[in-house]
Amino acid sequence: MTTGQSERLRTVHRQLIKAAQTWALRQGFDPGRARELRREAILINHAHYIKTIPAYQRLAQEEGVSEVTDIETIKKKLMSTDDVFKSYNQEWLEQADFGQMNQWLSGIYHKRIDVDVQGVRSIDDWIERLRAAGTNTVYSSGTSGTFSFVPRDETDWALVKTANTVYLTPLLTYRKVGTALVRLLVKPAIRLLSPDTLVKAVNKAGLPDFDGFFLGFRQGNMGNQVLIRELAPLFRRHHFLYDIDLTAAALRCLRWGAQTEEDRQLLGKLQKETIVERDSNYLKVIGHIKTSVEESQKVFLFGAPYQFKELGEIMSGENQRIALKKGSIILFGGGWKSFTGEKMDREALVRILSATFNIPPEMILEGYSMTEISVLMVRCDSGRFHIPPLIEPVVFDEELSPLEGKNLSGTFGFLDSLAVSYPGFIISGDHVRLMDEECQCGLCGPALVEIGRARNREVKGCGGIMTSFRA
């Protein structure tokens, strides 16, 4: 990117983040202007990707698209699927060949990655080396057990933190966090402060009247873990369900089996914590929550739906209920299936949590995000996951052609205006219903109404494949 383009992009990002803020505040938001800014950022990113990201270059070349193009062409031809972040050879991980992994990651990053991999024996070591060199890499593990790695440079990382703080603060403050008076005072403050200043203020102020409880691991580089890492310091105190690090190596062993003694030990530790001592870990968290309540602290509780189900079951088994202080929040996200694939009913879970913690249903929030996107979308009281104006959503039909309209069902994709260091034009594996209209909650613009996984195609014919085989 030229200096001029870089500066222009920074300006556009600042304005866009500010626009996201006014959108969340439901005051003075100009959707047309936001759209212009967003699209300008996307086109600058496109030109940057073509010059610097080999995978994107290749795709653009094959599709005959140059540096100068339009949004519709990008939507039609240049959106990668989320699988691009797992397009490496599995053998490289098996053989701990992180030199090859560097090379592969360079293909989906805007700079060559050349970190020293001498002595790197695990994915976590590799990620730490990358971070030390300024590349923050988050991974996620899907049902296939194959890891996706999404690299972001420090600028992108800071931008993501800023953007989310800036629009989530008013979004959550709106009828949720704090007293009416606080909300009355906070709104103008938010409007007046620049994004960077607001972030500093939020970080400095934190949420001292909240204790944070995270139904996850103390440390780790998985998507949820990274979010936990960013949120945890905001609270007066924070506790984790599992007081160990979640390592990629241990997760890999869960899927592929332990190959070495070290693997076996890692797996044993993980299984001990999450299976053998699962209930006692939940009981510890419950104990800490009680302490917080006794100390008149509000509680922020975060985890995946199945974890809340487990928590609810354990408390019910112990015949326990805890009346959380008014203003406490539960936030869950990460899909509605448990590890066993059991589907859960959202309404039932909300009812259980509401009864167990004496918390009104509107304080039980749900978030939708993924490793590949820069934003967290929060479900409103009308049941919609509103998409902040930083993101241009796209819905695809089964042929992966973009659809047009205000009420669409299909595969969810997005053009992420904040993704500069990796190709942020992504087609996800989620099947959604997207509506673009005013919502009763007061937010406008596109929102996801239904979210599920895209269906696998049934193969006809006697030919076929029983299961995943390497060939």
Partner 1 sequence: MEKICRESDLLHCQGGVVRAPFLIKGKIIVPPEINMEQIEAAFRDADKDTVYVKLSNAQLIREPVIDRKTLRYTGEYVYQVLPPVSGPELVETNIDRLAHGLYALSVADILEYLELLSAALLKNQELVAQVREICRLTAEHPDAFLDGWFAAFPSLLNCEAARQMINNELSLWGRPGGDFLDGWVEVPGGVIPGLVPSLAQALFGQDMTAHQPVKTLMRAMPTRQLHITAGNAPVIPIVSALRAILTKSAAVIKSPYGATITGALFGLAAAAVAPDHPITQNLSVVYWPGGDGSIESLLFRPNAFDRIVVWGTPETITSVQSKAPFTKTVCFNPRYGVSLIGREAFDGSLEKAVVKAAMDSMIDNQKACIASLVHYIEGTEEQARSYAERLRQTLRQWDGLTPQFVLPAVRGQLKRMKRGKYSRAHWYINSQKEEFTSGVIVMPGEFDILDHPMCRLVIVRPVDNLTDVLRYLHQGVSTVGIYPEERRLALRDRILARGVSNVLPLGQCERIFAGMPHDGMMVLSQLVDWKNA
| Binding status of residue 84 toward partner 1 by CB under 8 A | yes
| Binding status of residue 459 toward partner 1 by CB under 8 A | yes
Q: Which is nearer to partner 1, 22 or 411 (CB)?
A: 411
| Cβ 147 to partner 1 shortest distance, Å | 12
| Cβ 78 to partner 1 shortest distance, Å | 8
> Residue 258's CB: how many other CB atoms inside 10 A?
17
| Binding status of residue 397 toward partner 1 by CB under 8 A | yes
| Cβ 95 to partner 1 shortest distance, Å | 12
- Residues 322 and 359: their CA atoms lie apart, in Å, by 9
Counting Cβ atoms within 10 Å, is residue 344 exposed (0-12), middle (13-18) or buried (19+)? middle
Instruction: Please list the residues that pair with 395 across neighbouring strands.
Output: 412
- Residues 407 and 403: their CA atoms lie apart, in Å, by 10
| Binding status of residue 416 toward partner 1 by CB under 8 A | no
- Residues 23 and 355: their CA atoms lie apart, in Å, by 33
Contacting residue, 66, 89, 95, 316, with partner 1 by CB under 8 A: 89
Q: Which is nearer to partner 1, 294 or 399 (CB)?
A: 399
| Cβ 60 to partner 1 shortest distance, Å | 11
| Binding status of residue 404 toward partner 1 by CB under 8 A | no
The strand pair at 377-378 and 364-368 is best described as: antiparallel
Closest among 409, 430, 426 to 417, alpha carbons compared: 426
| Binding status of residue 69 toward partner 1 by CB under 8 A | no
| Binding status of residue 373 toward partner 1 by CB under 8 A | no
| Cβ 375 to partner 1 shortest distance, Å | 21
**Sign of the C-alpha dihedral computed for residues 400, 403, 409 and 411 taken in this order:** positive
Q: Which is nearer to partner 1, 312 or 423 (CB)?
A: 423
The strand pair at 391-396 and 407-416 is best described as: antiparallel
469: left (phi over 0), alpha (psi -120 to 50) or beta: beta
| Cβ 464 to partner 1 shortest distance, Å | 3
257: left (phi over 0), alpha (psi -120 to 50) or beta: left
| Binding status of residue 192 toward partner 1 by CB under 8 A | no
Task: Give the CA distances from residue 203 to residues 200, 234, 347, 402, in Å, rounded to whole numbers and listed in that order.
Answer: 5, 7, 34, 39
Binding letters toward partner 1, positions 18-57, x by CB under 8 A:
-------------------------------------x--
| Binding status of residue 83 toward partner 1 by CB under 8 A | yes
| Cβ 55 to partner 1 shortest distance, Å | 5
Contacting residue, 107, 134, 178, 335, with partner 1 by CB under 8 A: 107
147: left (phi over 0), alpha (psi -120 to 50) or beta: beta
For partner 1, the binding residues (CB under 8 A) are: 55, 58-59, 62, 79-84, 86-87, 89-91, 104, 107, 396-400, 411, 427, 457-471
